[in-house]
A and B are shown apart, each in its own frame.
Chain A
């Protein structure tokens, strides 16, 4: 009952934002709330089910975002001709080096194994670079102002949601293999580092997703606002509702996205709930609550952790691809761990870790507060500095940075919830 009331209040907040600010604004928040809720759901699978402390959410979201570009962008045949073969060859070479290392680790023993591994790593690095470097230069030289990258597959962008999940899952498999055996502190730092590396790669490997130059030629699957404005039947509806067609078309597009995102969120939630209440879910919670006894019962803890880590990251990757779909642009420069990692953590903790509904509520609530706080920060600051001389430099600089009050607010919310209600708004059953 209380939970229904909480969600109803959340809905009311959106109505309030729609009535008092604008419906378009309210829907913008709603769409990002839906995406945030999916990310929070993914983190909850890792943290709530298995107690994995992953601070690399940003990296998995970015992998999903990159998937959107690679699926949707138009292919660049000239670039493929220039360097496609080279990239393929370096990929094969890299795999061969990794295979060789695995072979050495398996077959050799003692100090010979160590030296052979080091030698292959160093030799392999230069061998791969020798093929890779020229190929990258060739690709990036192809019409650098417009393309300079391999391009994507030219497929509908909605497909990329699934692909983004797969990308993130693949990334999580590699990360998990390396880092999951570590205790929580190390795992946290390792994932933090990996997410920074993923962002660095996406920023700098221009041949892949154009790096910080961004790909701005993505094509949406849903009709654009311009298309709505050009269609007779839509103009008819807008007229009968006495709405401005330009505003109405924007709202219509956002509504379509909201419905699509809600379907994805609903599906994932249903699956998560099924998993949580299955023997698998009980096993995961047993591992989380007492790792040693679960291991003594014959459960393969490391393998289960890897599984959960991959599933959770895949969910984050799906959300990442959806975010790029909504923005119609992938901008690796804007990925910031405060917004993409730690804010998601606040959502999960505030909502109630271990409870899927809680994470979703947390995702909605925190994103709503995050956006509204940016708007209300200056108002609060105006009140706080009302006694000051309006011309003073201090006041104007404080007013300029007032939007950052929301970081402060998020910290306070997290600390208060951790202290006074550590189980969150909707506690685990």
Chain B
């Protein structure tokens, strides 16, 4: 019995808790991608760098707050700075839309041209972020580091294995739940949200019933930039901020959006967790876990790791390919691109 609990705690500590946090971050990112896809009808390659941009602004404001001695007590100061990061990123997104994408919408350019333009935007944002804050890694989490420390947990329960929950992990999940709740309320109940859903569903019909397309597009960018900033800041708090890592997040985020069903917000969330838990589950070394479960307490030889951690991209990709082959609309019946 105790062995079973030990195995469970071990697994929670290394897979379930980090997976929940990572999944929430991916879900927020995938929501932004899916939203832009359903309203503007292209895959936004600049989304990873939008996350980096938002996180960068938030970090700069955080540093400024820290230098002035403002802090949020046990919570990271970055949460106070977050609204400023969001405002800056929204402005950037709206300016980009005005300068870049609006033209292609007007001439009804094929979506591949929009995608190409998003590559251009990606380069620009990448350059801006690296010039302003540099390409190196930044850590900006402060406040209380842990909610439960591994040792405290061991003393509390008397188990061999400890369960550590970092503040940033808890904050990630809580913030994600709040944001998603607000987003769904907005999409279901508010006038603009309903207009967005109508527009995504059938553009011509929506235009016919007097929905203002400019307003819908603007709302989509505002929401996407907000989600991207929040996702970027949460990821940076939880791990660390590095521009190149954010660029690489593009792949799991896209995978999450497609696996869930692109264009479907619920799917984006489900996809985020599917990708996160598969990445974690496939690259976790099960040696110790099995040691607790084996009846005679003999440890298996080898790490019992399905894939080395370096292949985590391969996991998101494999799931992506599998879904595309078996069920191209994704889990939640999104659109087929």
> Which residues of A are interface residues toward B (Cβ below 8 A)?
53, 133, 178-179, 182-186, 188-190, 192-194, 196-197, 200-201, 203-204, 336-338, 342, 345-346, 349, 397-398, 400-402, 404-412, 414-415, 418-419, 422
Query: A415–B124 contact, CB under 8 A?
Result: yes
B161 to chain A, nearest CB (A): 27
Query: B113–A404 contact, CB under 8 A?
Result: no
Which residues in window 95-129 of B have CB below 8 A to A? Answer: 100, 103, 111-113, 115-117, 119-128
* B59 adjacent to chain A (CB < 8 Å): no
Q: Give B126's nearest chain A residue, CB to CB.
A: A407
Query: B126–A338 contact, CB under 8 A?
Result: yes
Query: B324–A186 contact, CB under 8 A?
Result: yes
A183 CB contacts on chain B under 8 angstroms: 336-337
B241 CB contacts on chain A under 8 angstroms: none
Residue from the list A190, A200, A204, A407 in contact with B130, Cβ < 8 A = A407
Residue from the list B100, B127, B250, B254 in contact with A405, Cβ < 8 A = B127
User: Among the interface residues B100, B127, B133, B308, which one has the most CB atoms of the partner chain A within 10 A?
Assistant: B127
Query: B121–A411 contact, CB under 8 A?
Result: yes
Query: A200–B120 contact, CB under 8 A?
Result: no
- Separation of A203 and B311 alpha carbons in the complex (Å): 10
- Separation of A415 and B308 alpha carbons in the complex (Å): 39
A410 to chain B, nearest CB (A): 5
Interface of B is mostly: helix
Query: A193–B43 contact, CB under 8 A?
Result: no
* B310 adjacent to chain A (CB < 8 Å): yes
Q: Give A199's nearest chain B residue, CB to CB.
A: B313
User: Among the interface residues A194, A398, A400, A408, which one has the most CB atoms of the partner chain B within 10 A?
Assistant: A408
* B72 adjacent to chain A (CB < 8 Å): no
Top 6 A-B residue pairs of the complex, sorted by shortest distance between their CB atoms: A408-B127, A411-B123, A411-B124, A407-B127, A404-B130, A193-B317
B251 CB contacts on chain A under 8 angstroms: 189, 192-193, 196
Residue from the list A196, A346, A402, A412 in contact with B131, Cβ < 8 A = A402
Residue from the list A53, A133, A406, A411 in contact with B115, Cβ < 8 A = A53
- Separation of A186 and B313 alpha carbons in the complex (Å): 16
Known: A133-B302, A193-B320, A419-B103. A184 touches B120 (CB 8 A): no
User: Among the interface residues B113, B120, B122, B314, which one has the most CB atoms of the partner chain A within 10 A?
Assistant: B120
B126 CB contacts on chain A under 8 angstroms: 338, 404, 407-408, 411
A194 CB contacts on chain B under 8 angstroms: 317
Query: B250–A192 contact, CB under 8 A?
Result: yes
A405 CB contacts on chain B under 8 angstroms: 127, 131
- Separation of A237 and B127 alpha carbons in the complex (Å): 46
Query: A401–B121 contact, CB under 8 A?
Result: no
A401 CB contacts on chain B under 8 angstroms: 130-135
B127 CB contacts on chain A under 8 angstroms: 404-411
Q: Give A414's nearest chain B residue, CB to CB.
A: B120
15 A-B contacts (beta carbon < 8 Å):
A183-B336, A185-B43, A186-B324, A188-B115, A196-B317, A197-B311, A200-B310, A200-B314, A338-B123, A338-B247, A345-B116, A400-B134, A401-B135, A404-B135, A405-B127
